[in-house]
Amino acid sequence: MRFPRLLILVLLCLGMVHPARGEPNTCLTCHSELNEATPAGRAYLQWKNTVHDKAGVTCDRCHGGDSSSGTLDGAHRSIRAASDPASPTYAGNIPELCGNCHGAQLEEFARSKHYRILQVRDSILDSPTCITCHGAMNTAILSPANIADACRRCHGREKTGPSSIPEEAQATLSLIYYARNTINWSREFVLLARREGRPTAAAEERLQEAISRFQASKAKWHSFDFREILRLVDGAYESAREAKRLAEDANERLKERTSLDIPPLDR
């Protein structure tokens, strides 16, 4: 299934529009008062201070309801339980719910076997949705330190048989992080050269290329196609190395000052 790019752009823009500030959002005013020991009170605490909180992605953006009504019945009128297939928070609908604002991730996720399994009601609980890895309310992001365990919840268990997926996932995510560090490092070299008034146009062009390849590799992650992800990571990494080399060429003194070199990608 392919998502038209224009549609994604429109949805992205819609998602980025913050609700009017100033008017109280009754989901928040009431839920913040609820007992923390109840699911409804705990949900508020999980959401509070997350990236979504700061970006104005309030409860109603995902659950629906009327955030201007101060009564439970009024505010909840159109809210459905997550177990109801008509609810936006039903497992099979979650990729589209999150994808309203995270179109690049949904586009890649929709290519995966995980997504195809979610389309079949009987197997819906066998496959991860966005919230299996990110949490429903807390926008957590897995790192190389905890990614393998997240995959092992299903891969390499008795039911699925031996699998190298958890280790491959960890290695791939580590290389994404490595490419990011390389880009940051190269950026410092380019900035140094620029500060000394050297011509850096060529280096900066390569740096931009590295950044866009890096971003593409991060989005591609959600296809879980490791080979394709690594192809993009390699590209990002090579562009970053080239940017550093060009910055050094533009600035001989920089070269003398450091013998540090970025080691080649090793695997």
Window 118 to 137, contacts with ligand HEC (CB under 6 A): 126-128, 130-134, 136-137
Say which amino acid occupies 212: S
Check binding of 89 to ligand HEC (CB under 6 A): yes
Check binding of 100 to ligand HEC (CB under 6 A): yes
Which stretch in 71-79, 181-189, 193-201, 252-260 sits in contact with ligand HEC by CB under 6 A? 71-79
Nearer to ligand HEC, 47 or 189 (CB): 47
Sign of CA dihedral 35, 90, 18, 71: negative
**CA dist list (Å): 15 to 11, 48, 57, 62, 97:** 6, 19, 8, 11, 11
Sign of CA dihedral 107, 110, 113, 118: positive
Check binding of 151 to ligand HEC (CB under 6 A): yes
Find where tokens 């008034």 sit. Answer: 197
Residue 227 CB, shortest distance to ligand HEC, in Å, is 10
Binding-residue pattern over the window 154 to 183 for ligand HEC, x denoting contact by CB under 6 A: xx---------x---x---x----------
Nearer to ligand HEC, 81 or 260 (CB): 81
Nearer to ligand HEC, 63 or 187 (CB): 63
Residue 243 CB, shortest distance to ligand HEC, in Å, is 21
Check binding of 203 to ligand HEC (CB under 6 A): no
Say which amino acid occupies 155: H
Which residues have C-beta within 8 Å of that of residue 128, sequence separation ≥ 6? 114, 154
The count of chain residues that interact with ligand HEC, using the rule CB under 6 A, is 74
Q: What residues between 6 and 45 interact with ligand HEC by CB under 6 A? A: 15-16, 26-28, 30-31, 34, 39-40, 43-44
In this structure, what DSSP letter does residue 198 have? Answer: -
Binds ligand HEC (CB under 6 A): choice among 7, 10, 13, 51: 51
C-alpha to C-alpha distance for 153 and 142, rounded to whole angstroms: 14
Binds ligand HEC (CB under 6 A): choice among 3, 76, 171, 185: 76
Report the 10 Å Cβ neighbour count for 203: 26
The b/e string for 105-120 (b: 16+ C-beta within 10 A; e otherwise) is: bbbbbbbbebbeebee
Nearer to ligand HEC, 147 or 247 (CB): 147
Strand segments (E) across the chain: none
